[in-house]
A and B are shown apart, each in its own frame.
Chain A
Amino acid sequence: MILTLFMALIVQISFAQQKTVSGTVSDENGLPLIGTTVLVVGTSSGTTTDFDGKYSIKAKAGDVLSYSYVGYATQNKTVGSASTINATLQPDNTLDEIIVVAYGTQKKEALTGSVGLVETETLEKIATSNVVQGLVGKVAGLQVINNSGQPGAAPTVRIRGIGSINASNEPLYVVNGVPFQGDITSINSNDIASFTVLKDAAAAALYGSRGSNGVIIITTKKGTKQGLTVNLDVSTVYTTRGSKDYDIIKTPGTYYEAHFLAVKNLLINSGETTKNAALIASQNLIFDNAGIGYQLGYNNYDIADDQIIDPLTGKVNSNANLLYNDDWDDFLFNNSLSSKTFLSINGGGDNSKFYFSIGHQNDQAYTVKSNFERVTANMSIEQTIKENLTIGATMNYAHTVQNIPDQGGYAGAFTWTRSIAPIYPVFGYNLDGSPVLDSNGGHVYDYGDGQTGTPQIRAYASFANPYSTTLLDIKRRTTDNFNGNVFLKYDFLNDFSFRYNLATDIRLRQGVSYDTPLGGDAFGVGGRSTSTSWRNSTSTHQQLLTWKKSFGDHNFDVLLGHENSEQNYVFLNSQLTNFLLPDQAVLDYGVVFQSTNNNEFDYTVEGYLSRLNYDFANKYFLNASYRRDASSVFHPDTRWGDFYGAGVGWRVSEEEFLNGSSWLSELKLKASFGQQGNDRILYSDATTQGVSGLTGRTDRNYIAYEDQYEVTNSNGDIGLSLKYQGNENLTWETSNNFNTGIELGLFNNRVTIDAEYFQRKVSDLLFNVPQAPSSGLPAFPDNVGDMENIGYEATIYADIISTTDLSWSVNVNATHYKNEVTKLPQGQPSIENGAFQLEVGKSQFEYYSREFVGVNPNNGAALFYKDILGDDGEPTGNREVTEDWTDATEYFIGKSALPELYGGFGTNLNYKNWSLGVSFAYQFGGYGRDNTYIDLLSGEGGENYHNDIFNTWTVDNTDAKLPLVVPNNDLNYYSTSNIRLIKSDFLSLQDVNVSYTLNNKQTSKLGITSARLYVNANNVHLWSKRQGYDPRLSFTGLNSDTNFSLVRNITIGLNLKF
């Protein structure tokens, strides 16, 4: 219906008189070019070619017809006596590439800063619902960390390293010219026209206040003047696990043997003889009658509890038969099929242009009952009212529904399947191994609490059964995202142009979180439901005045502007317990009040901006910008900050001494310097950025200059507790960026090389300085010190073969950078920062920990270094070895979480209608912390073991490299030390794309311009140091148990263009 309406908008073009000239316009391959503009030069008469590349126009003999098409050289033909004139257009290699930059566009060669561009072809191949997720390894200097395979999850993005410590390191997103507070997941990757990354100050300074972590500019598709095109894309996505899990124990027997080993170790360690230890361990494996302190509770075999393990061999009794062995993986995970559909219509004439699209995507995840469904509608209209007055509007709407089962703690499917000992089943079993049935004959779930299900107590996570609770819980978020952008553009006095932009971003969320009354931790309270609503809206106004003028070879482009932005967030939720129905979560069905939370915040920023772009003869370039900004985060006396950027560029290849070189097609040198700000200080206890938890309070501190008190309910009285301390002197963190680079084009730009050197010095770091706990407060927000990131990045692209039928290109990008803390507050030589420690001269990502030296072959103890102290209590510089973890000293151990090198490489091969693309991502030279692996050796009650337990020290294996394992890591041998570190090197086959395109006479007879059949696969394979360890999941290589493994999506799709 709407479609027809828009079709009707395609205004028929009226024709002038005289004779009719017609013909076909085709490209260098002879394929029709649809939408080629054909003009009679010197008149207002013109037309565009149709679906078959055909046109007809009225013209007189002697008129000159001009054929123009974006990306092709314009051709002129004079009308003679013939009434048919065909034209074949050639690709225009000298075409100026237009790059979207801050508050406008610039020709690529005029850039003096560092800008990364993602090609639209790359964007089209992204299967994930969040477009940024697909950019791993695609842009030099851009690190995309996919923390989770949860559909719709937002990745962590870092541009040229870490700028801040406690402040946010997220880049600024700008959508359609306006800073974006919305959710990137609400933008359909099919709707994106351009994706630009601004990496240095010259490029990003105009976003002064908020650009210090880099800027990602996304522009959605707009209408074009080239007639009507319709694009239909339909695909199916097959989702599987992206990488293998750890080599954990999968069978009950092996688990009993491993746990027997650990208990036996413990007993030997506390003085029992080896023989006695084995006997006691085997007799008390299931039930602890000896007061050891550990027991498993469950016996999966048809043999007495104290007979499962033969104490002499340590193996499962050969007479034992397994009664049950449920594999949690089979229940919590399943491969799934999803679908994606996208339709867009794009068209326009001289005075009006439009773009309209709708998209639907239903992402089924790898974990049970988790999915992400999104409907997007995108509309863009531009209308020229008068010659010098244009108005336009872009509206993006996305409706998303996400089912997100709990992933925290015991509820997480990945944590659970990895951590629970394989002796504990999904369903309940009687002691004889028969299933425990409910009154309807159904197999009941096992909660390990001895009440429902198996009549024993699990040593691991009693009360929990994430499979049943995931099935029975309702965890749903419904979000409406609306992003509207209207503008008015008025050109006057020949060289001036005024543009007014008004953008509004509104997100409305309705969340339901219902913990089932049928089992799990809400069983005791009859179910627990939390209903949440929030509204997050941002309005931005921009007034931009530009002046463009050329005097001979001198070209000026000046911008003056003002921008203000206002964000408001309102949160309301309520929680009740004791519900009537197990499948109905609305609060009216519950009776016991638990809590209500309601809060808001406002965030306002205002800025004045200016920019000068100057070039001389397209050879020498100067960009300069200045911006003055204020943020409501800071005290009125400290809230204004001044930011600037300046860059120069020199296209050496335009100089006469190089002009005409056969091999050198482009050589540009550039340098820039500038300063940007960051006001995004987080609360000291923030865990994620954004809005989280039951309370709905934000992790960002929006009034950092004030002391803040929490209001609590003290049995009906108002209770107050000081929660955060404020700092009136807190001000902008500033990032000083220097960038210099060379852009080289060889052999008619068949080979291009971009190489850059950058320095990113961050001063007045926003940091929540940890306070002595005795002062009663955890931290004090302050501008504490300075830090720098220095590095190089390079991108090489080569068209190795380029013929009509066959083309082959390769691309490589690499980034290296170092981080160093250069200044800390007076009197504070070091500040503890998790696994790291801030110290001048060190990287903020250099590990600071106890140093594991090896294993004592006599008793299996882990050996650690310890400082020898002098009489004055200070270290003498000598150290000794200790077996006591608590007594060991912490050191900088010379290993960093930052990789030495990261990036990606890929290749594209096209042969006739076939196309193949392969891309890889990599990183080398850093270390991660594999806590998951170590936790699988620390023997917490009922937790699973890694198969490496059989390679740890025992009385029979005294030259082992791994220390003795005892239950509950009682001896601290596996507590935090560098034993947890592992090289975070990886090589990952990110994407493989194969496609076949049909665009010939047959298809055009069907009215189809081109048909493309494609198969895309992402997260195809990972090579890392240890099976199960995926360094891609965290910026610092930290592997935590709760990580949702990445998924592999294989997409099969059909793209039709009409």
Chain B
Amino acid sequence: MKKKILLSLLVVVSIYSCEKEFLDNDSKEYATAQQLADLASSSPEALLTINSGVESGQYSFLREFSTNFEDTGSRHDDYGQMSINLGLDLMSNDMVQVQDHWMGNYYAYRGRTQDFSTTRIIWNFYYSIVNNVNSIIAQIPEETTVQDLIYLKARARGLRAWSYFNLVRIYQYTYQSNPSAAGIPIYDGEDINVPSRAPLEDVYALILDDIQLAYTNIEGYSRTSKETINKAVIAGIYARILLETGTDYTTCATMAAEAKISGLLMSSTQWISEGFSDISNSEWIWGSDINGESSTIYASFFSHASSLNAGYAGLLGIHKTIDKRLFDAISDTDVRKTAFDEAEGYLNYKFFDFTFFEGDYVYMRVAEMYLMEAEALARGAGTDAQAAKVLYDLVSTRDPNYTESTNTGQDLIDEILLQRRIELWGEGFAWYDMKRNGIALERDYTDSNHTAFGRDNYSTTASEFLFQIPIAEIENNLEINIVDQNPL
């Protein structure tokens, strides 16, 4: 009897004894590496599916609100690539912010210092992309013969080159000024792992290696949407890189010319009425398609940049206006001048959108290719006449009275650079161009229309033209110490 009782007790106890399955739970909140590995091993197509997923994830990341994992999602000046584009333009001579508000950290040059969220947002944004595309590159075997995997890896390299290229220009002076200056940490997910500040020449070596491989291996690829990068985008990035390094203007011109023909310049009417909010625009090469679901509403480019949308600028009057000198420099017959309203305090009407913050974002368009090709030709890849012709092809579509330039040498280059400022105003080029061409910040001039909180002058060799590395990097990266920091 006693034995029977004890026996039955043992049975009861052992019903719930430790079975392995009881403690092994599948994740149902996030996809785990194990789930992805199981899927990947099931077929070569699955490897493509997963890694294409990682790539697509980056394209949506480019337009996300709150990309920065250290903040809890309330910063309305963090909405991906376009916030950085607008922010950097707000650090140039050409754009004015009329009130201190969101984006004011850029305009007042506060955001560049190590404790500000601004520098953290930029740094984390690009490094997050690098880390994700590194995993694509690492997972796709070098010896693969699956064409789609080869294309994918090429695009991943293109994105990585683009990310490092943007970063390195923000955190150091130009390559030309000192190739051995301390750059940024580089990782390629495989053998390169330099957490310290790698010299600019090493950073650019990786960037060039990536972009060249990307360019070679993307041959033949055809994309389904302008959100994905393709050969034209890679060629455009390649041209940007070479224009910056100044090491190979010939290839630069070739690449720009190749990307140039991937689209058609928009008409002057289009330019002022619908040029910057619709990805179907013939001139757009690369962009983001924003819809009701992906819209980030008030924390978006059109909220901050458009004088007509009911956002920070359009409704609350935190306008982004044009510098009066640049405005004055635009020919009166140029249709682009009508995108600005002098009487309303140089208000811009370049950026607007008729929807409720569903305007699309542009990252690369054909006009820039004309300008790069012209500049590369003028800087030695061709003759001044060739350069002037390319410039004419662009500008004449904006200004019916424009005549082909007879300028030569530096004058011609200066003319091209002026057209760059006019054509690309607000699109994230002006500050990089100032650094590249040694154009000082000059906002405190007679009759300046710059706002007091940002009315400063700095030379391009001043520390202001460098962002400081975010403090979190210095605190948590054993290879970068406070002595390695950019000057205040």
CB atoms of A606 and B69 under 8 A apart: no
What's the minimum C-beta distance from B221 to chain A, rounded to whole angstroms? 16
A774-788: CB near B (< 8 Å → 1, else 0) gives: 111110000000000
Chain A positions 837 through 877: 1 when the CB is less than 8 Å from some CB of chain B, otherwise 0: 00000000000000000000000000000000100011000
Beta-carbon contact of B451 and A719 below 8 Å: no
B115, closest chain A residue (CB) = A886
> When the two chains form the complex, which single residue of B57, B115, B120, B225 contacts A773, counting CB atoms closer than 8 Å?
B120
Interface pair A606/B18, CB less than 8 Å apart: yes
B contact residues around A723 at 8 Å (CB): 30
Smallest Cβ distance from A1042 to chain B, in angstroms?
Answer: 11
A–B pairs, 28, beta carbons within 8 Å: A291-B449, A292-B452, A293-B99, A293-B451, A449-B310, A524-B357, A525-B356, A543-B12, A562-B13, A595-B293, A604-B22, A604-B25, A605-B23, A606-B23, A708-B33, A718-B53, A721-B54, A721-B58, A722-B135, A726-B32, A770-B476, A773-B70, A775-B127, A776-B134, A778-B70, A941-B100, A941-B101, A975-B115
A967 within 8 A of B: yes
- Determine how close the nearest CB of chain A comes to the CB of B55; give it in whole angstroms: 8
Q: How far is the CA of A968 from the CA of B475 in the complex (A)?
A: 27
Q: Could you tell me the distance between the alpha carbons of A708 and B317 in the complex, rounded to whole angstroms?
A: 42
Instruction: Name the residue in A712, A773, A828, A873 with the highest tally of chain B Cβ atoms < 10 Å from its Cβ.
Output: A773
Contacts of B16 in A (CB 8 A): 541, 543, 562, 564, 606
Mask: chain A, 714-746; 1 = CB below 8 Å from B; 0 = not: 110111111110100000000000000000000
A594 adjacent to B473 (CB under 8 Å):
no
**1/0 contact trace for A576-605 toward B, CB 8 Å?**
010000000000000011110001111111
B127 contacts A773, C-beta separation under 8 Å? yes
Residue A894 at the B interface, CB < 8 A? no
Contact assessment for A524 and B297 in the assembled complex, using a CB-CB cutoff below 8 Å:
yes
B113 sits at the interface (CB 8 A) = yes
Most A-side CB within 10 Å, residue of B57, B135, B475, B480: B57
Do B293 and A293 touch (CB < 8 A)?
A: no
Query: Is A290 interfacial (CB 8 A cutoff)?
Result: yes
In the bound complex, residues from chain A placing their C-beta under 8 Å from that of B98 are 288, 291, 293
A residues near B, CB below 8 A?
Answer: 266-267, 270, 288, 290-295, 409, 449-451, 457, 462-463, 492-493, 498, 500, 521, 524-525, 541, 543, 545, 562, 564, 566, 577, 592-595, 599-606, 630-632, 636, 639, 684-685, 687, 697-698, 702-703, 706-715, 717-724, 726, 770-778, 827-828, 830-832, 869, 873-874, 884, 886-887, 941, 967-968, 970, 975
What 0/1 pattern do residues 90 to 122 of B give for CB contact below 8 A with A?
Answer: 000000011111001000101001110000100
B138 to A: closest C-beta gap in Å: 12
Interchain nearest-CB distance for B453 vs A (Å): 4
List 18 other contacts, CB 8 Å, given A493-B2, A684-B69: A291-B455, A293-B100, A294-B100, A449-B315, A451-B310, A562-B16, A630-B23, A702-B25, A709-B32, A717-B52, A718-B49, A718-B52, A719-B61, A721-B128, A726-B32, A778-B69, A874-B483, A886-B488
Who on chain A is nearest to B454 by CB?
Answer: A293
- Give every chain B residue within 8 A of A601 (Cβ-Cβ): 25, 27-29
Distance of A600 Cα from B28 Cα, bound (Å): 5
Given known A-B contacts A294-B99, A601-B29, A774 and B488 have beta carbons under 8 A apart: no
Residues of the B chain whose Cβ atoms lie less than 8 Å from the Cβ of A600: 28-29
> With A291-B449, A292-B451, A718-B56 known to touch, is A708 a contact of B2 (CB < 8 Å)?
no
A706, A775, A776 — most chain B CB neighbours (10 Å): A776
Taking a contact as CB atoms under 8 Å apart, the answer to whether A712 and B23 are in contact is no
Chain A residues with Cβ below 8 Å from B34 are 706
Per the 8 Å Cβ criterion, residues 282-315 of B in contact with A are: 289, 291-294, 297-298, 310, 315
**A293-B104, A715-B60, A774-B184 are known contacts. Are A832 and B24 too (CB-CB below 8 A)?**
no
Is B157 among interface residues, defined by CB-CB distance under 8 A? no
Contacts of A975 in B (CB 8 A): 115
The reply to whether A636 and B33 contact each other, CB–CB distance below 8 Å, is: no
Contacts of B57 in A (CB 8 A): 710, 712, 714, 719-721
A contact residues around B356 at 8 Å (CB): 524-525
Docked Cα-Cα span, A351 to B393, in Å, equals 101
Partner of B69, one of A685, A715, A717, A967: A685
Chain B residues with a Cβ under 8 A of chain A: 2, 5, 9, 12-13, 16-18, 20, 22-34, 36, 49-50, 52-54, 56-61, 69-70, 72, 74, 97-101, 104, 108, 110, 113-115, 120, 123-124, 127-128, 130-132, 134-135, 184-185, 187, 195, 225, 227, 289, 291-294, 297-298, 310, 315-317, 356-357, 449-455, 470, 472-473, 475-478, 480-483, 488
B294 and A715 within 8 A (CB): yes
Instruction: Judge whether B317 and A887 touch: CB under 8 Å.
Output: no
A-B interface contact total, Cβ < 8 Å: 272
Q: Which of B5, B120, B450 has the largest count of A CB atoms less than 10 A from its CB? A: B5
Cα(A717)–Cα(B29), bound, Å: 19
Asked whether A777 lies within 8 Å of B25 as measured between CB atoms, the reply is: no
Kindly provide the distance from the CB of A327 to the nearest chain B CB, expressed in whole angstroms: 25
Contact of A708 with B31 at beta-carbon distance under 8 Å, contacts A722-B132, A886-B115, A968-B104 already known: yes
A816 to B9, CA, bound (A): 47
- CB <8 Å contact, B31 and A720: yes
Taking the closest CB of chain A, its distance from the CB of B422, in whole angstroms, is 23
Other-chain contact of A632, B25, B56, B72, B128 (Cβ < 8 Å)? B25
Chain B residues within 8 Å of A290, by CB: 452
Query: Please, which residues of chain B bring their CB within 8 A of the CB of A702?
Result: 25, 27, 29
> How far is it, in angstroms, between the C-alpha of A617 and the C-alpha of B132 when the chains are bound?
68
Q: Pick from B31, B128, B225, B475: contact of A776, CB below 8 A.
A: B128
Is the beta-carbon distance between B56 and A719 smaller than 8 angstroms?
Answer: yes
Q: How far is the CA of A270 from the CA of B317 in the complex (A)?
A: 24
Measured between beta carbons, the chain B residues less than 8 angstroms from A684 are 69
Q: What is the chain A residue whose CB lies nearest that of B33? A: A707
| Cβ B18 vs Cβ A717 within 8 A | no
Report the separation of the CA atoms of residues A397 and B450 in the bound assembly, to the nearest whole angstrom.
Answer: 65
Measured in the bound complex, the distance between the Cα atoms of B24 and A632 in whole Å is 6
Contact A713-B100, Cβ < 8 Å, known A292-B453, A773-B120, A778-B70 = no
Please name all residues of chain A whose beta carbon is closer than 8 Å to the beta carbon of B292 when the two chains form the complex: 577, 592-594
Asked if residues A630 and B54 are in contact (CB atoms below 8 Å), the reply is no
Q: When chains A and B are docked, how far (Å) is the Cα of A605 from the Cα of B18?
A: 10
Whether A697 lies near B29 (C-beta < 8 A) is yes
Q: Is the CB of A715 within 8 A of B227?
A: yes
A336 to chain B, nearest CB (A): 30
Closest 4 CB pairs of A and B: A776-B131, A873-B483, A719-B57, A772-B477
- In the complex the two chains form, what is the Cα distance from A11 to B115 in whole Å? 75
CB-CB under 8 A from A967, the residues of chain B are 100
Contact A293 B29 (CB under 8 A): no
Q: Tell me, rounded to whole Å, the shortest Cβ–Cβ distance linking A512 to chain B.
A: 21
Contact between B99 and A288, CB atoms less than 8 A apart: yes
Q: Which residue of A lies closest to B482 (CB)?
A: A873
**Which of A545, A603, A698 has the most chain B CB within a 10 Å cutoff?**
A545
Q: Is the CB of B315 within 8 A of A451?
A: yes
Interchain CB contact under 8 A, B28 and A774: no
Tell me if B18 and A630 are in contact (CB < 8 A): yes
Please pick, from A498, A562, A703, A968, the residue contacting B25 in the complex, using a CB distance under 8 A: A703
Please, how many angstroms separate the alpha-carbon atoms of A900 and B24 in the complex?
Answer: 44
For A718, the closest partner residue in chain B by CB is B53
Cα distance A698–B29 in the bound complex, in angstroms: 8
A703 CB contacts on chain B under 8 angstroms: 25, 27, 32
Contact between chains at A719 and B74 (CB < 8 Å): no
CA distance A723 to B32 in the complex (A): 10
Kindly list chain B residues whose C-beta atoms are within 8 Å of the C-beta of A292: 451-453
B450: min CB distance to chain A, Å = 7
Which of B26, B53, B298 interacts with A719 by CB under 8 Å? Answer: B53
- Residue with the greatest number of chain B CB neighbours at <10 A, chosen from A266, A707, A714: A714
Given contacts A291-B449, A632-B24, contact A709 B31 (CB under 8 A): yes
With the chains together, A577 CA to B293 CA distance in Å? 10
Chain B: minimal CB distance from A641 (Å): 13
* Residues in B neighbouring A887, C-beta threshold 8 A: 488
